[in-house]
């Protein structure tokens, strides 16, 4: 048997049970057996045991009582109880007193037993590796300090405001300038904007431009989990505080201590949760669910929502006092349709990033493809643009991405019949020249969409040269 095999000790007073477990495990592990606590104790003293499988009902010491001793003398050995009884007191005692890794009920299934032991061995290996790394960390502080400083500089450069992709003169320039000015001050920030518009990216830039940059940046989407679980996730909980709380859980406020906590979609939270959050922000301390004591936390909160929070305050759906607590400074991120000039730079960057991730050669966007992207209103903002670019990169046969690689939704340039009808409506006001220009733009756009942004076909249909068509597209903002 290879020396690299981990050793498993089976403790059971029934020989048939010992043999059954040995047959299940011996292809993957070195298996030792014992009929009672005394024999098992001797084997533990003589061998390095990775996992111990112990029957609960044995003559003399019970399994839990013996494993409590194992926990004290051989704490690195992973402890598993096997029992034919479901006495809740035994289970609770095993978890609390003996630090039981798993409680397996008889009759056990071979595959389940084998998977459990494999996972236990892996857990022990990972714990040993963590202990080794902790030792190395304590002996290499100068090296780690240099590495940490280097990584911090890289993080700052990656998440710098200048790395937020945009065109010269973009509406985002003013947004980033405001965010950069307030980043250095420890003030709460409320970021407003539609879903997918880049609120989290802006929040990261604020964090890494702040004095808290060396601390953690922790993210939680408040709309992604139920309200009761959100409290546990953010504030933590104590073992046994509710059904399923098998161990203590450190909340995200504590994990973000010394850094920044980004609470996305805060407008979706309930009144009860808003009250608890307000108390945390006012008092600078959290009380884990089920705990009698509070824990001090030093956290900067950046909140975000696609909702109009001022309106929700007036409607009674959001606490006014919490609103003023999180909205010391408000930053509005405009949707992609209001900064169409940014579509080109963002799309080119996404083509490069996604191509690298998919293992595709470097690709470029054709003029027609870029014009098609700029003509679409992007209700899903950058997130939708990323999905569309991913699709186009995957479907393109060569290194030049044409408009035909986009979905029909983007090719049509509209979100539905209502939007299409609105786009075809005649302008209601303006001079004759302005109205004629608007009609010309609609005809040009409709022709381009119908010809799938093929300039040659559209120019022929409209009786224009390609140069003339291109000039009109630039004039009406349909050319990248």
Task: Name the domain boundary from 316, 334, 352.
Answer: 334
Q: pLDDT (tens digit, 9 = 90+) per residue, 199-249? A: 999 999 999 999 999 889 999 999 888 877 888 889 988 887 777 767 778
In a domain, 480, yes or no: no
Do residues 177 and 321 both lie within one domain? Answer: yes
CATH number for the domain harbouring residue 21: 3.40.50.2300
- Listed in sequence order, the residues at least 6 apart from 362 whose beta carbon sits closer than 8 Å to its beta carbon are 352, 355, 399
pLDDT score, position 416:
38
Banded model confidence at residue 454, pLDDT cuts 50, 70, 90: confident
Q: Per DSSP, what are the bridge partners of residue 319?
A: none
Task: Name the domain boundary from 334, 352, 386.
Answer: 334
pLDDT score, position 417:
36
Q: Can you tell me the distance from the alpha carbon of 121 to that of 287, in angstroms, rounded to the nearest whole number?
A: 35
Query: What is the residue-averaged pLDDT of the chain?
Result: 84
Do residues 317 and 344 both lie within one domain? Answer: no
Banded model confidence at residue 108, pLDDT cuts 50, 70, 90: confident
* 425 half-sphere exposure, CB direction, 13 A CA radius: 10
pLDDT score, position 91:
61
Task: Give ∠ CA 393-396-398 in degrees, rounded to 5.
Answer: 115
User: Which residue has better confidence, 385 or 2?
Assistant: 385
Do residues 118 and 256 both lie within one domain? Answer: no
Q: How remote is the C-alpha of 302 from its chain's centroid?
A: 16
Using the 8-state DSSP alphabet, how is residue 174 labeled? Answer: H
Q: pLDDT (tens digit, 9 = 90+) per residue, 360-379? A: 888 889 888 888 888 888 99
Task: Name the domain boundary from 272, 302, 334.
Answer: 334
Place of tokens 């059971």: 12
Do residues 39 and 105 both lie within one domain? Answer: yes
Q: Can you tell me the distance from the alpha carbon of 420 to that of 398, in angstroms, rounded to the nearest whole number?
A: 32
Q: Can you tell me the distance from the alpha carbon of 158 to that of 35, in angstroms, rounded to the nearest whole number?
A: 60
Q: pLDDT (tens digit, 9 = 90+) per residue, 416-448? A: 333 444 444 555 667 877 778 777 877 887 787
Whole domain around residue 326: which residue ranges?
154-334
Residue 464: CB atoms within 10 Å = 17
Segment 99-107 long-range contacts (CB within 8 Å, at least 24 positions apart): 99/67, 99/71, 100/64, 100/67, 104/53, 104/80, 106/82
336, 382 in Cβ contact below 8 A?
Answer: yes
pLDDT score, position 94:
62
Do residues 330 and 266 both lie within one domain? Answer: yes
Q: Per DSSP, what are the bridge partners of residue 249?
A: 237
Q: Hey, what are 66's tokens? A: 């013996």
In a domain, 143, yes or no: no
Radius of gyration (C-alpha) of the chain in whole angstroms: 31
User: Which residue has better confidence, 387 or 151?
Assistant: 387
Q: Over range 36-61, report the average pLDDT.
A: 90
Residue of 269, 238, 240 whose CA lies nearest to 254: 238
In a domain, 149, yes or no: no
User: Which residue has better confidence, 4 or 165?
Assistant: 165
Do residues 29 and 162 both lie within one domain? Answer: no
Percent of the chain with pLDDT over 90: 40
User: Which residue has better confidence, 7 or 146?
Assistant: 7
Do residues 310 and 170 both lie within one domain? Answer: yes
Place of tokens 């389940």: 112
Do residues 293 and 164 both lie within one domain? Answer: yes
Q: Can you tell me the distance from the alpha carbon of 476 to that of 18, in angstroms, rounded to the nearest whole number?
A: 82
In a domain, 205, yes or no: yes
Instruction: Provide the domain count of the chain.
Output: 3
CATH number for the domain harbouring residue 424: 1.10.8.60
In a domain, 25, yes or no: yes
Do residues 204 and 350 both lie within one domain? Answer: no
pLDDT score, position 136:
67
In a domain, 145, yes or no: no
In a domain, 407, yes or no: yes
Q: Over range 67-96, report the average pLDDT.
A: 77
């Amino acid at each position: 048997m290879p020396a690299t095999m981990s050793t498993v000790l089976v403790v059971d007073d029934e020989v048939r049970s010992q043999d059954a477990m040995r047959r299940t495990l011996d292809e993957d592990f070195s298996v030792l057996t014992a009929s009672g606590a005394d024999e098992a104790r001797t084997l533990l003293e003589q061998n390095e045991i990775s996992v111990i499988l112990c029957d609960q009902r044995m003559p003399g010491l019970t399994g839990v009582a013996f494993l409590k001793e194992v926990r004290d003398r051989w704490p690195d050995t992973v402890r598993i109880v096997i029992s034919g009884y479901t006495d809740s007191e035994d289970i609770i005692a095993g978890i609390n007193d003996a630090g039981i890794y798993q409680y397996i009920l008889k009759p056990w299934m071979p595959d389940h037993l084998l998977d459990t032991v494999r996972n236990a061995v892996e857990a022990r290996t990972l714990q040993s590796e963590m202990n080794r790394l902790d030792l190395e960390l304590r002996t290499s502080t100068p090296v780690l300090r240099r590495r940490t400083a280097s990584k911090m500089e890289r993080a700052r450069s990656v998440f710098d405001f200048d790395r937020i992709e945009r065109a010269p003169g973009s509406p985002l320039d003013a947004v980033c300038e405001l965010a950069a000015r307030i980043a250095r001050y420890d003030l709460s920030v409320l970021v407003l904007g539609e879903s997918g518009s880049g609120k989290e990216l802006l929040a990261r830039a604020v964090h890494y431009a702040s004095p808290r940059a060396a601390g953690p940046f922790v993210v939680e989407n408040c709309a992604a989990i139920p309200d009761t679980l959100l409290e546990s996730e953010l504030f933590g909980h104590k073992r046994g505080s509710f059904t399923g709380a098998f161990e203590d859980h450190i909340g995200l406020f504590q994990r973000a201590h010394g850094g920044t906590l980004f609470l996305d979609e805060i407008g979706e939270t309930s009144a009860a949760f808003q009250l608890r959050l307000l108390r945390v922000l006012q008092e600078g301390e959290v009380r884990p669910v089920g705990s009698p004591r509070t824990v001090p936390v030093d956290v900067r909160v950046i909140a975000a929502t696609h909702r109009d929070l001022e309106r929700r305050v007036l409607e009674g759906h959001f606490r006014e006092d919490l609103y003023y607590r999180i909205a010391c400074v408000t930053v509005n991120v405009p949707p992609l349709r209001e900064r169409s000039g940014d579509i080109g730079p963002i799309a080119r960057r996404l083509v490069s990033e996604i191509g690298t991730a998919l293992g595709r050669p470097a690709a470029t966007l054709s003029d027609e493809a870029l014009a098609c992207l700029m003509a679409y209103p992007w209700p899903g903002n950058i997130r939708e643009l990323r999905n569309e670019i991913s699709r186009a990169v995957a479907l393109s046969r060569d290194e030049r991405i044409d408009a035909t690689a986009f979905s029909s939704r983007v090719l049509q340039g509209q979100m539905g019949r209502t939007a299409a009808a609105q786009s075809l409506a005649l302008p209601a006001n303006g001079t004759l020249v302005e109205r004629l220009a608007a009609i010309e733009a609609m005809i040009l756009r409709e022709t381009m969409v119908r010809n799938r942004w093929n300039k040659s076909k559209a120019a022929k249909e409209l009786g224009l040269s390609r140069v003339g068509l291109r000039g009109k597209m630039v004039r009406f903002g349909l050319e990248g």
